[in-house]
């Protein structure tokens, strides 16, 4: 019943259907296209009962200058690639950009047990084009891996999808101004 109520809430014309799931999801699933955004991924459980040992986020094309937030006890690494379309930031032409961010527990003491949740954040400039964006996340555990990479064939409901990618809805700037 609670899930039903939560998934029935409409906001600025968009159906927010994924707030009630555990999985790996953005804590803020609505953002303004073309804005700076702090993306916080909430890891709601492990792989089955197994503790989480690493989280790897694929930064989608058009997300500019992604910066991870350091996390105590977790080793941070990023992967950069040459851009097909260089862009301008603070008067400089950017030709390569972060395409992957990874947090890896430095020891057993920092593993994230299935009975607990945690959050992993990055900061980025979002694309100007409104619409849904799916972000792929790899969750590694002591045993096993969850690849959060499945997307629905149409729409944005992840109901019935076993390992959905994390959804972020980019809103046109006009839609948020009356809030």
**Under the rule (CB under 5 A), what is the footprint of Cu ion?**
22-23
CB of 53 to Cu ion, least distance (A): 17
Distance (Å, rounded) from C-alpha 60 to C-alpha 38? 14
CB of 45 to Cu ion, least distance (A): 5
Burial class (CB in 10 A: 0-12, 13-18, 19+), 138: middle
Looking at the DSSP bridge assignments, the partners of residue 58 are: 100
Between residues 53 and 124, which has the closer beta carbon with respect to Cu ion? 53
CB of 15 to Cu ion, least distance (A): 19
Say how far residue 67 (Cα) sits from the centre of its chain.
Answer: 13
- Show the CA angle centred on residue 154, arms to residues 150 and 160, nearest 5°: 50
Task: Count CA atoms closer than 13 A to 56's CA, side-chain side.
Answer: 13
Between residues 52 and 124, which has the closer beta carbon with respect to Cu ion? 52
Between residues 90 and 162, which has the closer beta carbon with respect to Cu ion? 162
Residue nearest to Cu ion (CB): 23
- Other C-beta atoms lying within 10 Å of the C-beta of residue 24: 24
Between residues 48 and 73, which has the closer beta carbon with respect to Cu ion? 48
């Amino acid at each position: 019943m609670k899930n039903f109520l939560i998934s029935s809430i409409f906001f600025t014309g968009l159906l927010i259907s994924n707030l009630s799931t555990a999985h790996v999801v953005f804590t803020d699933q609505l953002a303004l296209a073309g804005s700076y955004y702090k993306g916080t991924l909430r890891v709601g459980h492990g792989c089955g009962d197994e503790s989480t040992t690493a989280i790897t986020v694929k930064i989608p094309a058009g997300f500019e200058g992604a910066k991870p937030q350091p996390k105590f006890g977790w080793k941070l690494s990023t992967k950069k690639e040459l851009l097909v379309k260089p862009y301008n930031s603070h008067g400089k032409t950017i030709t390569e950009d972060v395409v992957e961010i990874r947090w890896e527990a430095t020891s057993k003491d920092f593993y994230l047990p299935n009975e607990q949740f945690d959050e992993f954040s990055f900061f980025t400039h979002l694309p100007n084009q409104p619409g849904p964006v799916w972000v792929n996340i790899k969750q590694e555990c002591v045993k096993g891996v969850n690849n959060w990479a499945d997307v629905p064939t149409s729409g944005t409901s992840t109901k019935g999808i076993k390992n959905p990618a994390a959804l972020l809805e980019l809103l046109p700037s006009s839609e948020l101004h009356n809030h």
